[in-house]
Structure 1
Amino acid sequence: MLTRFAPSPTGYLHVGNIRTALVCYLYAYSCGGKLLLRFDDTDIERSNATYIDNIIEDLKWLGIEIDSSFKQSERFDRYNEVFSSLMKEGHIYACYESKEELDIKRKMQLKQGLPPIYGRSSLTLLSQQQEQYERKPYFRFKLDENAIISWNDEIRGEVKFLVKNISDPIIKRTDGSYTYMLPSAIDDIDYNITHIIRGEDHITNTAVQIHIMNVLKAKVPKFAHLSLLHIGEDKISKRKGGLNIKYLKEDGLESMAINSYLAKIGTSDVIKAQTNMKSLVESFSIQKFSAASVKFDLSDVYRLNAKMLSSMPFELVKERLNSIQSSDFWYSIRGNIEKFSDIEKWWKICRANIETVITDKELINLALSLLPKEKWDENTWTRWVDSIMPQVKIKRNDLFMQLRLALTGFDRGPNLAKLLLLIGRERVILRLKNN
């Protein structure tokens, strides 16, 4: 089995792109197959080598292993060869309408209640008429109007298209560059791609490409079309760049939190935080995916990320903590971080001079006077609170809040009994005196 992920290097990978790449990877590896990375860079003006590097980097960070890769821009000679052959056989014809003319025709068809299908006006032009045009032609693939294209989609079931309802696709622009359609079909044939997984917005493209493959007398791969992601209107999704992987990585999300979420949305499986790809591969089945629309909520990814970190053992994060080689610190704060970068905040709270909040000076002065002097241990917090409570007229939880604000500057956070030991007696005294 061989499948492929084929991004256009015209921007950063979006969560929708990554979902497709991830499903391709999981499907291939669950079947003992391989994954090919193809860069669809036939649009020379918009394609950028920087985006190619970013795509490779992002896939590597996510743990999506690639077995081989190539760029379509390296295969123009092959595309030209097939193009010339199809042209000679009458499957491709030159067209001369301008974009404005095509837009007018399309609007007129819609006004008349007709489908906006290309009328093949250029197909009937005589050679002398073609010569009258000063503009360069573009080219379309001539579809068989009487054909019916059907396939058994691995997600959507039987899909059927009447070719007469599809416009002859443009396969070459006036500047000589190829559109997506022909190079993709040629590559899938030449590289013996057996399975193609992509978004449902490509369903019509699939019908056309199957038609082209049939004309080229090639074996047609199996297809699976994932439903598109519906982006939820949560505040996090509105962040600038909030839905490309580069931003999510820089914002501190764990790669496996993203993978765990994207691998399961749209299926009946429960979404659980997994720490490695192996578990996702073992539980994968393309048949689990539904054809129904899928809601993507970035807030859910952040919650999953926090849950993953809260159960992550010190051994898995030790190298990432750099100079913070303290398992006590990690186990004390891991349940109170949404993303790994939040560690810095709690390290400063434990080790640096910070702004705290004191609202009841009298209470804090009393607490300072009763601060235990003996060697501190895990029971110090309880002994301290027990000594304060008989002398105040507030509830125990209210006392906790006042002490937390005075020690950390925040109204919530890690267990105070553990935090007290991490801050240390000297810093506790300095912060309680800060009134």
Structure 2
Amino acid sequence: MLTRFAPSPTGYLHVGNVRTALICWMYARSQNGKFLLRFDDTDLQRSDVKYIDSIIQDLRWVGIDWDSNFKQSERFERYNEVFSQLIKEGHIYVCYETREELDIKRKLQLKQGLPPVYDRSALFLTEQEKIRYEQEGRKPHFRFRLDRNEVVNWNDEVKGEINIAASHVSDPIVKREDGIYTYMLPSVIDDIDFNVTHVVRGEDHVTNTAVQIQMIQALKAKIQTFAHLPLLHFDDSKISKRKGGLDIKSIKEDEIEPMALASYLTKLGTSDPIEAHVSIQSLIDSFGIEKFSSASAQFSLSEVYKLNSKVLQQMSFAMVEERLSQTGVNSSEFWYFIRSNIERFSEVAKWWQICKSNIEPVILYREFAKVALNALPQGDCNENTLSEWVKAIQQKVDIKAKDLFMQLRLALTGTKTGPELAKLLIFIGRENIVTRLKE
């Protein structure tokens, strides 16, 4: 088994891309298969190496690896070879209409209540007409000639039985007037040459699949197994590269854990519950392409944030030890205490600094601080220190428990809210407590 993910390096990856990549990758890994990364960069003007670098970083960040990779721009010689073969065999033909002329044709067809299918008028051009167009400076584009008598059908692993009448589809342009190949033909050639067995992609490619099946047949190759995933929706619109805040670059900057995103995207739209996973292997082990529904799925960034804190709560000290050391935290006890009180990993360093560094305590009443200082139990702090301390303070002043806790928290942490104060005292330590109350 071999699956592939084929991003176009004309922009940053977004959650829709990464969901497809994860599903392709997990499908292969769950079947002990291989995974191919292909960059669809035939449009050299729009493609950029910075996007290739970014895509590689984002895929690695979310836990995806690959067995091989290549760029389509390295294979133009091969595409030209097959292109020439298909022209000789009559599968590809030359056209000279301008974009304006094609647009007028489409509008007239729609006005007459007809499907906007290309009328194949280019097939009836004489050699003299072609020469005249060339002399006028028109540059040709090329179309693949579909067998319009066929109803293309396949058993889709997500959508079930699909039937598409080729008579309702325009002959696709495979090479533009500027000489650039469109997506269609190079993708088919690559899938054949690299022995791709399973193609998993969005449902917006369903009609493309019908076209590409006829291309595969023209090249006398084996047809792959197809699975078309429903597109994700966000605020009632399709997720695209233009949707702000949903590119992986932004999500990483917002400190979402990769396993939180992977846990959400690979279960969204399936029959499985969406739960926090800390191991990518556990997601692979529970993967099944048959679990995906053909109904559209709603993407919720707030749900990813909720999963983020749950992922952190399940992470062992060994999983985060290196990351913690980079922030100056070297205590496994502190990690196991604080992980249940944070939504983002960076909050660990914040609370470590509150415990160990000089802070600006908030003293509402100086007299209270003096009483609290004198009532502080002797010896190192433990889990019983706070309860003993509170009793001792209440014996000396008439104060509600709620107000007492608030004043202690403000004085010792400078914040109104935070982790359980009884355990926090252990990490703040008696020396820092005394210093902050004296201030």
Q: What band does the TM-score fall into relative to the shorter chain?
A: over 0.9
Matches within 5 A, 1:37-116: 37-116=37-116
**Offset of 1:241 from its aligned partner?**
5.2
Q: Tell me if structure 1 keeps the 8 A contact 2:381–2:425.
A: no
Deviations 1:199-240 (A, max 9, x none): 11111111110011111111100000111111258xxx9x99
What is the Cα deviation at residue 360 of structure 1? Answer: 4.6
Is 1:379 the counterpart of 2:419? The answer is no
Kindly provide the amino acid, as one letter, of the partner of residue 177 in structure 2.
Answer: T
- Which residue number corresponds to residue 154 of structure 1? 157
SS, match of residue 424 in structure 1: helix
Note the aligned Cα RMSD (angstroms): 2.0
- Superposed displacement of residue 92, structure 1: 1.1
Please say if residues 332 and 415 of structure 1, whose CA atoms lie closer than 8 Å, have aligned partners that are also in contact: no
Cα separation, 2, equivalents of 1:185 and 1:116: 25
**What is the rounded CA distance, in whole Å, between the counterparts of 1:347 and 1:232 in structure 2?**
38
Using the alignment, how far apart are the partners of 1:415 and 1:31 within structure 2? 46
1:413 aligns to 2:418 (yes or no): yes
Q: Is the 8 A contact 1:147 1:162 kept in 2?
A: yes
Looking at structure 2, the residues matched to 151 and 338 of structure 1 have their Cα atoms a distance apart, in angstroms, of: 45
Q: List alignment gaps of at least 5 residues for structure 1.
A: none
Is the CA contact (8 Å cut-off) linking 1:258 and 1:301 kept in structure 2? yes
In structure 1, what is the Cα distance between the partners aligned to 2:437 and 2:180?
A: 71
Q: Which range moved further: 224-233 or 72-81?
A: 224-233
Aligned runs of 1:159-170 on 2, under 5 Å?
159-170=162-173
Deviation at 1:78, TM superposition (A): 0.9
Tell me the residue number matched to 1:8: 8
Which of 174, 188, 192 lines up with 1:189 in the alignment? 192
How far has the Cα of 1:11 moved from its partner?
1.4
Taking the aligned partners of 2:369 and 2:355, their CA distance within structure 1 comes to 19
C-alpha separation between the residues in 1 aligned to 2:342 and 2:228? 37
Q: How does 1:337-416 map to 2 (within 5 A)?
A: 337-416=342-421
TM-superposed CA distance for 1:365, in Å, is 4.0
TM-score with structure 1 length normalisation?
0.94
1:315-330 paired onto structure 2 within 5 Å: 315-322=318-325, 323-330=328-335
User: How far, CA to CA, are the matches of 1:396 and 1:368 in structure 2?
Assistant: 17
Give the corresponding residue for 2:433.
428
- Counterpart-to-counterpart distance in 2, 1:309 and 1:378: 24
State how far apart, in whole Å, the 2-side matches of 1:176 and 1:60 are. 34
Give the 3 Å change call, closer, same or farther, for CA 3–108 of structure 1 in structure 2. same
The question of whether the paired residues in 1 share the 8 Å contact of 2:376 and 2:389 is answered with yes
Q: Find the aligned partners of 2:361 and 2:116 in 1 and give their Cα distance.
A: 66
Aligned with 1:168: secondary structure?
A: coil
Cα distance in 2 for partners of 1:432, 1:113 equals 82
Q: Give unmatched runs, 5+ long, in structure 2.
A: none
SS of aligned partner of 1:26? helix
1:136 equivalent in alignment to 2:139: yes
Structure-2-length-normalised TM-score: 0.93
**Aligned counterparts of 2:244 and 2:394: Cα–Cα separation in 1:** 50
Contact preservation (8 Å) 1:351, 1:423: yes
1:162–1:372 distance in 2 versus 1, CA, 3 Å? same
- Please report how far the alpha carbon of residue 418 of structure 1 lies from its aligned counterpart in structure 2 after TM superposition: 1.5
Q: Is the 8 A contact 2:329 2:349 kept in 1?
A: no
Match of 1:215 in 2: 218
Offset at 1:393?
4.3
> How many Å separate the matches in 2 of 1:361 and 1:112?
86
Q: Structure 2 counterpart of 1:366, which letter?
A: V
Is the 8 Å Cα contact of residues 94 and 140 (structure 1) preserved in structure 2? yes
Aligned length: 430
- Could you list the per-position Cα deviations for residues 241-262 of structure 1 after superposition, in whole angstroms to 9, with x for gaps in the alignment? 5322223223322221111111
Deviation of 1:416 (Å)? 0.6
CA contact under 8 A between 2:259 and 2:279: conserved in structure 1? yes
Alignment-mate amino acid for residue 21 of structure 2: A
Name the SS for the 1:151 alignment partner.
strand
Once the two structures are TM-superposed, the CA of residue 307 in structure 1 deviates from its matched residue by 0.8
Q: Contact between 1:138 and 1:170, CA under 8 Å: does it hold in 2?
A: yes
- 2:339 matched residue in structure 1: 334
Counterpart check, 1:242 vs 2:245: yes
How far apart are residue 2 of structure 1 and its match? Answer: 0.9
SS of residue in 1 equivalent to 2:434: helix
Equivalent residue letter for 2:267:
K
Secondary structure, aligned partner of 1:318: helix
> What letter matches 2:311 in structure 1?
M
Counterpart AA for 1:53: D
Query: Kindly tell me: are residues 111 and 342 of structure 1, through their superposed partners in 2, closer, same or farther at Cα, counting changes over 3 Å?
Result: farther
Distance 1:393 1:7 in 2: 67
How far apart are the structure 2 equivalents of 1:81 and 1:240?
38
- In the aligned structure 1, how far is the partner of 2:189 from the partner of 2:418? 57
Q: Which sits farther off after the overlay, 268-277 or 214-223?
A: 268-277
Distance 1:359 1:293 in 2: 54
What do residues 268-294 of structure 1 show as CA deviations (whole Å, max 9, x unaligned)? 111222222211111111000001111
Conservation of the 8 A alpha-carbon contact between 1:333 and 1:414: yes
Q: Could you tell which deviates more after superposition, 389-398 or 217-226? A: 389-398
Choose from 277, 282, 294 the match for 2:280.
277
Using a 3 Å threshold, how does the CA distance of structure 1 residues 36 and 330 change in structure 2: closer, same or farther? same
- Give how far 1:168 is off: 0.9
Residue 229 of structure 1: aligned partner: 232
Output the CA distance in 2 between the equivalents of 1:222 and 1:117.
27
Q: 1:430 to 1:232 in 2, by over 3 A?
A: farther
Distance (whole Å) between structure 1 residues aligned to residue 368 and residue 296 of structure 2: 56
SS at match of 2:222: coil
Q: Deviations over 1:26-80 (max 9, x none)?
A: 1111111111111111111111112212222222222212011111111111111
